[in-house]
Amino acid sequence: MAKSVIKQLNYYFDLRFLVKFISLFLLFYYVNIFFVQLALPGKWHNDFFVEHLNYIDWLTGSLTHTAHFITHILGLSAIVENNDTLALTQGPRVIVKWQCIGFGIMSFWLAFVLAQDIRFKRKVLLGLAGVLVVWLMNCCRIALLAVALDRNLKPWKKSLTFIGGINHHDLFNYGCYAVILLLIFVYYKVSAKKGGADKSARIISEAKHKS
């Protein structure tokens, strides 16, 4: 009975891929959460991790410094404070917490890529490309938020929310997931074309061999 149900489900869904995807997503996401706890003050705080292996701080710094570079291009005067704050000289500042890094979105993309049955080199390239896109979108989000604060844009200034209560953090997540879904669509589209081309080439090769 159980085998029959699994067989029917596998007809509609790739259960092997689904199990791998969910497992990898949960692994990546909660491993990051664990390391976040090591970096934060509290029960799990670890000085060695903070001093030598704190990739959370490195990612945060890469976001704030790149956003600072973008604001500089846009003509704003700003500085980076404590690696996690983009401060405008006129007073407003954008503080980047670990929740702003995008671990959930990055984990989603990496889990999707690694769950695919493709060559490891291609997994690495696709994984890095998706993470880089999310990272760059985040840098632009932080820079645009600094611009909004500098221009005193009221919808952003009121609790940093706009469009009926949706804040910039939520909008960033929606935008990133939309881009990730687009990348998944393109991936399957390209894979389908490549698969069809490979199949045609194989048929032609077999036909030549028989002749």
| Residue 66 forms part of a structural domain | yes
pLDDT at res. 48: 95
pLDDT average, residue stretch 149-174 = 65
Element spanning 86, H or E: strand 85-88
Cβ atoms within 10 Å of 15's Cβ, excluding its own: 13
Dist. CA 155–CA 165, nearest whole Å:
9
Does residue 20 form part of some domain?
A: no
Residue 46 lies in a domain: no
pLDDT the model gives residue 170: 74
Residue 69 is predicted with a pLDDT of: 96
Q: Please report the pLDDT score of residue 3 as a whole number.
A: 54
Question: What integer pLDDT is reported at residue 2 of this predicted model?
Answer: 47
* 130-145 pLDDT, tens digit each: 999 999 999 999 998 8
Q: Which domain holds residue 131?
A: 54-210
pLDDT digits (tens, 9 = 90+) for 25-84: 999 999 999 999 999 999 999 999 999 999 999 999 999 999 999 999 999 999 999 999
12 domain residue, yes or no: no
Whether the pTM exceeds 0.95: the reply is no
Please, are residues 177 and 102 in contact by the beta-carbon 8 Å criterion? no
Could you tell me if residue 24 is inside a domain? no
Burial 162-201 (b: 16+ CB within 10 A, else e): beeeeebbeebeebbeebbeebeeebeeeeeeeeeeeeee
Is residue 161 over pLDDT 70? no
Q: How many distinct structural domains can be found in the chain?
A: 1
Quote the CA–CA distance of 128 and 21 in Å, as a whole number. 17
Q: What's the pLDDT at 199?
A: 45
The token pair that represents 104 in the structure block: 């959930």
pLDDT per residue over 162-211, tens digit each? Answer: 555 556 677 788 888 899 999 888 888 888 776 644 444 443 444 445 54
- Is 114's pLDDT higher than 70? yes
